[in-house]
Amino acid sequence: MQQVLLPIIVSLFGNLCIGIIKYALVPMIARGMMLGADQPVILHMLDIPPTTKALNGVKMELVDSAFSFLKGVVATTDIIEGCTGVNIVVMVGGFPRKEGMERIDVITKYVSIYKSQASALGKHAAANCKVLVVANTENTNALILKEFAPSIPERNITCLKRLDHNRALGQISERLNFQVSNVKNVIIWGNHSAIQYPDVSHVTVETPYWDMPVVDLLADDFINTIKQRGAAIIGARKLSSALSAASSVCDHIRDWVLGTSEGTWVSMGIYSDGLYNVPAGLFYSFPVTCHNGEWTIVEESYYKRYGKNFVYSIFWSYLN
């Protein structure tokens, strides 16, 4: 007899109607890209009052799409209703970064928003709720969330680095002419955008004969290409990344909940406990594996090859 799966409640916070990432993300979740094609979901969509009419229009579209495993949709501007009983929260909404803007230009716009949302989540979300912070500046926003939602374990708050991780995988695939599914173990250290460090020292490409290292095969512009990819997309589209960002959100949650493949690690922004000499108390991107809904930092490879000081130097460049 087939096991009946209970619905998982996924809540999306902020700017649903005008936020292009969130609008791209909604059908991906409903179709099973985040939690699996056989996992029922109930979707909570939390937005601001001026968007009520358009928010209900998005709900109408979801109903019209007739997704088999979408078991309910709550479209609301009430923060308590949006938070009540939720198992997974994706904090997408934020001030849109525009061409020429730096992260520091938007960082001050989030503090009051995240304070109120953190308080509501702490009081009304389900036990063991998992939270993914997407909106730039996600490391700082995750820290704000942690400080104002002390009932949510710090291990249950992460921030998105998978977009940069996937960008690196895609560039390796395109430049070396291998299928992206055969490329594994990129690492994104630090933060997002220009102050990240894309690391290919442990990347291999699976071939019919062996797993081939790629560190010596990539051109010198590879790192800067990944760092500036978001700005390049804004320059081309006059809008920030949407489809790739939404897809990376699904990848992040899926691996966190369902587990990473054997021998493969992914990049996640997590709360540092001091490993790799990154000071404790910061959200920082590390290589991790996931199993049974928990992440574990990959340790031994870098201790053996580079030692702690390599990552420590990246940390200080991340601050400066």
Q: How far apart are the first and last CA of the chain?
A: 58
Which of 144, 11, 156 shows the shortest CA–CA distance to 78?
11
Of the residues 165, 192, 202, 252, which is catalytic?
192
Beta pairing class for 187-190 and 196-199: antiparallel
192 is catalytic: yes
User: Do residues 73 and 45 touch, judged by C-beta distance below 8 A?
Assistant: yes
Compute the residue count for the chain.
Answer: 320
Provide the 10 A C-beta neighbour count for residue 93. Answer: 23
Q: What are the φ/ψ torsions at residue 282 (nearest 5 degrees)?
A: -115, 150
Exposure letters 129-144 (e unless 16+ CB within 10 A, then b): bbbbbbbbbbbbbbbb
The residues assigned a catalytic role are: 192
